[in-house]
Amino acid sequence: MRPIQKFTCNLKKYRLEKGLTQEELAQLVGVRMETIIRLEAGKYNPSLKLAIDISRVVEVPIEEIFIYD
């Protein structure tokens, strides 16, 4: 049996540092605002493409935004 991995999302911190609302970020990466809300709550694991798109918009490496323990 595989151990359960803990998922931490630092997206809100970096989104706020860029001065973006959840809605603005969602529009920039082509998802619904609800997706950003779920990501920030750690309740949604992004696809690789979405993680890359978010990383580029907030200008922070993926591994600093999305952390899997």
As given in the structure block, the two tokens for residue 24 are 């603005």
- Domain residue extents for the chain: 7-68
Helix H or strand E segment including 33: helix 33-40
Whole-prediction pTM value?
Answer: 0.88
Q: What is the pLDDT of residue 5?
A: 65
pLDDT tens per residue, range 29-65: 999 999 999 999 989 889 999 999 999 999 999 999 9
CA atoms of 22 and 2, how far apart (whole Å): 34
Provide the CATH topology of domain 7-68.
Answer: 434 Repressor (Amino-terminal Domain) (1.10.260)
